[in-house]
Structure 1
Amino acid sequence: MKEMEPLLVDWKELRFGVEIEFVGGNPQQVELWPGWIMAHDERQIDGDGAESGSELKPPPIKWEDREQIREMLMRLRATGAEANWNCGLHVHVGLEPWGEESIPRFIEAALLYQEVVRSLLDSSEARLPFCPPVTQEMRDRFISEPGSAALYRKGRPQSHRCGINLAAWYDIGTVEIRYANGSLDYDEVINTVEFCLRFVAAIGAGQQLPCDPRRMAIALGAPVGGYPPPIPAPQWYRERIWLENALVPILTPLARSLVQDGEILYILPRPDGILVAIEDANGDLSKHLVQLPSAGWEAVRLLQE
């Protein structure tokens, strides 16, 4: 692949989107700004462990359109929605000015700066499994065989979405920055958007940045603080994740016998067994009820939910 030439682009002219996860409220009753989407199938986990809320996102917009975000957050909060420890704030920034030739440059930037970005945005412990790091192995795969497959990172709970997710280029022409904690506060959301826009513009222009969170923000002209603060997960949720992590290696052979190349996304107890959610190579999810009789684990039935 031809190496990209640095290109200076005004960060305010970059198109972006922001995925706003929340719990509670009444997503069905929120009046949407034209072009905005309420992804009702994107549910979060509330304080009782139930699926709740949704994910709100705009069409591709520019900085001058940011008041749409303020208005939609007001409408969302008016229904009682809130952000908790399970929610994230994902910013997509369009790479159209640079194109596919920019992907190697952004991979190198991810390897160099991803921990700095994570630190500046103060990702909570509960959010980290949803934004794993880009690796040198992924870079090497991409150099030898460019394409989206090289940017997939296997591993629960979401196989292809790194904290700096460049696989998004092949889906919707963006880089997705996933490190921010969830928030429905306009200032926190817009500070995050501004940082992401400035960061992407700087990488596209070939700018070298400090490997220190505060100094990076200053160098970019981005806010030094005011990002969504981390929210501690409750003890029951942390214990659930510990138990899942212990069970995944045991249940993986069964999962792969049920779903070719299946990957376990989550495990939940049920009164009549254990629910195992398995994602196939295409990203399709199926849920299976399994039990542990004296002879070992066995699948009881496929759940239709």
Structure 2
Amino acid sequence: MWPKHVNWKDLRFGVEIEFIGGRPAEVELPPGWVMSLDELQVDESGDDSGSELKTPPMLWAAREQIRVMLDRLLANGARMNWSCGLHVHIGIEPWGEAMVLPLVDAALACQEALRSLLTMSEHRLIYCPSVTPEMKNDYLRDPRQEALHRPGRPQSHRCGINASAWYDIGTVEIRYANGSLDYDEILHAVELCLRFVAAVGEGRKLRDTPAELADALGAPRTGYPPPRAIPRWYRERTWLDDALIPAVSELAEQLVPGGEILHILPVQDGLLLGIEAGDGKLRRYVCAPPATGWRVVRQADAPR
């Protein structure tokens, strides 16, 4: 049922904390917590590193659990850099599917303000693209999860205000926050997301500038995870992606029909092409560009 007033502190939430370094497999986890060891970030040398720690669904009153786990991560050697993000899931069960369209409308009205308030690093936009009017129109014609996917690059099904998560786990996912291992920064981001979703659920008209949005929600204007500069080599890697994707798109479609190119990396015997399939699994192939066209040298690993 929508609209309906729900106190933001009564909404369940979960946090996905990306980090580099440490020994993630050795971190002691309380019941319900998950260490996604296959979710790797990029360290300063360009190597895969770290993991993603996921909280269980929790209420604001139980937030101290996050401090305990951050202390464990830091003691284990975890670090933060530009490749890490912080994703906040807010349960929208009090409203159900009726909340999906209001979230899309709220995104169209103030997603840029929310992104700016959270001081999102520009290079992270590929991981949290904007909701578009075309997506809303498609959903109105045929309400379904696929209408909330943004195909191609930037990545689909992962908009910055990701209402499609309702159909998977009963949440809306807000992906704008930069990575952090600081308790206060993370809690500021969580509080903002909780207040935002509660306001949408109440049917309130939200403001479209960062300061006005924060004030209307009663959320802090500052104190969110800060942006981190990316090194020159990483910026060049993104330029390489942008330049090569049009050239390999046809090959990628042949290898993984309907898949998305996530990255193209130079390796000793060619280019490593990472393609995410519709099931969320990553396929990786090493390809080489002979004079007559692209060819697959080898599959780099078994599908994960």
Scaled by the length of structure 1, the TM-score of the pair is 0.96
Letter of the aligned partner of 1:169 in structure 2?
W
State the Cα distance separating 1:142 from its structure 2 match: 0.5
State the Cα distance separating 1:208 from its structure 2 match: 1.5
Unaligned runs of 5+ in 2: none
C-alpha separation in 2, matches of 1:157 and 1:274? 20
C-alpha separation in 2, matches of 1:280 and 1:29? 30
Residue 9 (structure 1) aligned to one of 1, 6, 10 = 6
Say which is worse superposed, 154-163 or 51-60, in terms of deviation. 154-163
Letter of the aligned partner of 1:73 in structure 2?
L
Structure 1 residue matching 2:177: 3-state secondary structure: strand
| Residues 76/232 of structure 1: CA separation in 2 closer, same or farther (3 Å cut) | same
Matches for 1:129-208 after TM superposition, within 5 Å? 129-156=126-153, 158-208=155-205
State the Cα distance separating 1:126 from its structure 2 match: 1.9
Q: Which residue of 2 aligns with 1:214?
A: 211
Unaligned runs of 5+ in 1: none
| Residues 109/157 of structure 1: CA separation in 2 closer, same or farther (3 Å cut) | closer
Matches for 1:1-305 after TM superposition, within 5 Å? 5-156=2-153, 158-304=155-301
Over residues 178-207 of structure 1, what are the superposed CA-to-partner deviations in whole Å (9 max), with x where a residue is unaligned?
000000000000000000000100010011
- Check whether the contact 1:261–1:281 (CA below 8 A) recurs between aligned residues: yes
C-alpha separation in 2, matches of 1:294 and 1:32? 52
C-alpha separation in 2, matches of 1:152 and 1:84? 28
C-alpha separation in 1, matches of 2:290 and 2:31? 54
Number of aligned pairs? 302
C-alpha separation in 1, matches of 2:297 and 2:23? 35
- Check whether the contact 1:126–1:232 (CA below 8 A) recurs between aligned residues: no
State the Cα distance separating 1:256 from its structure 2 match: 1.3
Letter of the aligned partner of 1:117 in structure 2?
L
| Residues 157/275 of structure 1: CA separation in 2 closer, same or farther (3 Å cut) | farther
Over residues 52-75 of structure 1, what are the superposed CA-to-partner deviations in whole Å (9 max), with x where a residue is unaligned?
000011110000000000110011
State the Cα distance separating 1:6 from its structure 2 match: 1.4
Over residues 234-255 of structure 1, what are the superposed CA-to-partner deviations in whole Å (9 max), with x where a residue is unaligned?
1000000001110000011111
Letter of the aligned partner of 1:294 in structure 2?
A
Percent identity between the aligned chains?
59
Letter of the aligned partner of 2:200 in structure 1?
I
Structure 2 residue matching 1:236: 3-state secondary structure: helix
- Check whether the contact 2:5–2:198 (CA below 8 A) recurs between aligned residues: yes
State the Cα distance separating 1:283 from its structure 2 match: 2.6
- Check whether the contact 2:24–2:37 (CA below 8 A) recurs between aligned residues: yes
Over residues 157-180 of structure 1, what are the superposed CA-to-partner deviations in whole Å (9 max), with x where a residue is unaligned?
532100000110001000000000
- Check whether the contact 1:86–1:126 (CA below 8 A) recurs between aligned residues: no
Over residues 103-129 of structure 1, what are the superposed CA-to-partner deviations in whole Å (9 max), with x where a residue is unaligned?
111110010010000010010022111
C-alpha separation in 2, matches of 1:262 and 1:274? 18
- Check whether the contact 1:244–1:266 (CA below 8 A) recurs between aligned residues: yes
State the Cα distance separating 1:214 from its structure 2 match: 1.0
C-alpha separation in 1, matches of 2:258 and 2:99? 31
Structure 2 residue matching 1:199: 3-state secondary structure: helix
Structure 1 residue matching 2:206: 3-state secondary structure: coil
C-alpha separation in 2, matches of 1:283 and 1:178? 17
Letter of the aligned partner of 1:140 in structure 2?
N
Structure 1 residue matching 2:113: 3-state secondary structure: helix
C-alpha separation in 1, matches of 2:293 and 2:142? 41
State the Cα distance separating 1:282 from its structure 2 match: 2.7
